Amino acid sequence: MSGIMPGFAYAFSSDQFRISAYDDRDFPLSAASVQSYIHRGDWEAPDVLLIVENEEWQESIDTIISAAHNDMTPVYILMNREDELHREKILHEQQGSNNILLHLSIDSPWVRDYGPLQLKTGNGSVKWMDFTYTNGLLHDDSVPDQLAGYIGGTIEQGDYLLDGGAVISNGNGLCAITDKSLEEAAVDLQYPEEFERFRDILGCTALAVLPALTGEATGHADIIAQFLTPETVVVAKLHQDDNDIIQAELEEAVKSLEVTAHKIDQPLKIIRLPLIVEDAFFYSYINGTRLKNTYLIPSFESVPSEIDHIAMNILQSALPDIRLAPIPADAIVQRGGAVHCITLGLDLPVNHDDFLFREDRTALLYSPSTSF
């Protein structure tokens, strides 16, 4: 990516542009405007959970839905209206359940990436933003608009190529993204004003730039790190000793997060979770999803059971009051994602009447002929 020097960690805050190779060279920038919106925190409990029906990992979906029901979090299942046979099967299986089925035109199961990004205001309202989906799949790219049509909300268009899994946030203005995602968004670090505009649109006071992991196809931050609270972030730590490059990239990510938090005077506690890399497959326990009182954490049969136990124990210690729900994720990893990638916790508009939506529109949502 142009403008990035190898071996350097990058941290950009509201009032300065810092390039750090663990030195103290600062480059002043103009102060950022006061943020009207703040990017929703990774840890914030959603109103509803979105998931796309997919036969390849039905066990994972069933486990996620069961955990969400135990958590009292409504589940909206997105179904491809083009797949009539599978749709009829799911309609029959879901009859009488508490799930809402949304018939949309979709191309893939990665709802985290093409779903709306969410920004919040101080009064509790939420703004949905729709950026262009990097995979270029037209149906997927239209999902935010389709959801807004179903739910009756509004959505603002963003003029960047950006996936939802590319951005992590502590909900207090501290965010992170990888250098690869910045490159895909055509944001050049040689132009600080351009970076500031991008950061402000995302609702971030400061944006740490992390190195994308070598060999990991998505280049997304949600494989590397996730905020458990406004002050606590979990960062992957390679469990093997045979990949110095990825080890160094993860340590650089830690440094960038620490420097960025420090620049805006926010406390930050870093906890490490094991990462297993086998060939092109990244078994990341970071890639989970938070509900109200439950955390959906990936679990892998392809990983030694003691590693699963280590990850569960570390996360449970960090979230002592939260129930952990292990989700079988091997099949998802084989396609390049994990639990976070196939789920999206969604905050509904503040004036949204959920009871009216669930009760009065059920017939519409279940109808095989539903269309726009």
Residue bearing tokens 């509790």: 124
Q: What per-residue confidence (pLDDT) applies to 123? A: 77
pLDDT value at residue 9: 41
Q: Report whether pLDDT(104) > 60.
A: yes
| Greater pLDDT, 164 or 354 | 164
- Residue at 361 is within a domain: no
Structural domains counted in the chain: 1
Confidence of residue 302 (pLDDT cuts 50, 70, 90): very high
pLDDT of 90 > 70? The answer is no
pLDDT of amino acid 35: 64
Please answer whether residues 234 and 272 qualify as being in contact, where contact means their C-beta atoms are separated by less than 8 angstroms. yes
Q: What angle do CA 248, 254, 255 make, to 5 degrees?
A: 90
CB neighbour class for 36 (10 Å; exposed up to 12, middle 13-18, buried from 19): exposed
Residue 195 belongs to some domain of the structure: yes
Decide if 104 is inside a domain: yes
Q: Which domain does 52 fall in, by range? A: 34-349
Given a cut of 50, is residue 168 above it in pLDDT?
yes
* Mean per-residue pLDDT of the chain: 84
The pLDDT-based confidence of 348 (bands split at 50, 70, 90) is confident
361, two tokens: 């529109």
**What gap in Å lies between CA 318 and CA 313, rounded to an integer?**
9
Tell me the CATH number at 89: 3.75.10.10
The band of 88, judged by pLDDT with boundaries at 50, 70 and 90, is: low
Residue 11 lies in a domain: no
CB burial of residue 284 (10 Å; 0-12, 13-18, 19+): buried
13 falls within a domain: no
Structural domain contains residue 191: yes
Q: List Cβ neighbours of 232 (8 Å cut-off, separation of 6 or more).
A: 268, 269, 270, 271, 318
Which two three-digit tokens encode residue 27?
């480059």
Strand 294-299 relative to strand 289-290, pairing: antiparallel
Tokens 């268009």: give the residue: 157
Q: Does the pLDDT of residue 368 top 70, yes or no?
A: no
Mean pLDDT of 143-165: 90
- Radius of gyration of the CA atoms of the chain, in A: 20
* 193-213: pLDDT as tens digits: 999 999 999 999 999 999 999
Burial of 211 (0-12, 13-18, 19+ CB in 10 A): buried
Q: What is the pLDDT of residue 185?
A: 97
Mean pLDDT of 92-118: 82
Mean pLDDT of 8-23: 38
Determine, yes or no, domain membership for 120.
yes
Q: What is this structure's pTM? A: 0.85
On the question of pLDDT at 338 being above 70, the answer is yes
Share of the chain above pLDDT 90, in %: 68
Among candidate residues 344, 347, 348, the one with its CA nearest the CA of residue 167 = 344
Whole-angstrom distance, CA of residue 85 vs CA of residue 67:
27
Whole-number pLDDT of residue 84: 53
Cβ within 8 Å of residue 14, ≥6 positions away: 31, 32, 205, 206, 264
Whether 3 is covered by a domain: the verdict is no
Q: Please give the pLDDT value at position 21.
A: 32
Other beta carbons within 10 Å of 217: 14
Residues 154, 114: Cα–Cα separation, whole Å: 16
- Cβ within 8 Å of residue 306, ≥6 positions away: none
- Cβ contacts of residue 238 below 8 Å, gap of 6+? 246, 247, 250, 274, 275, 277
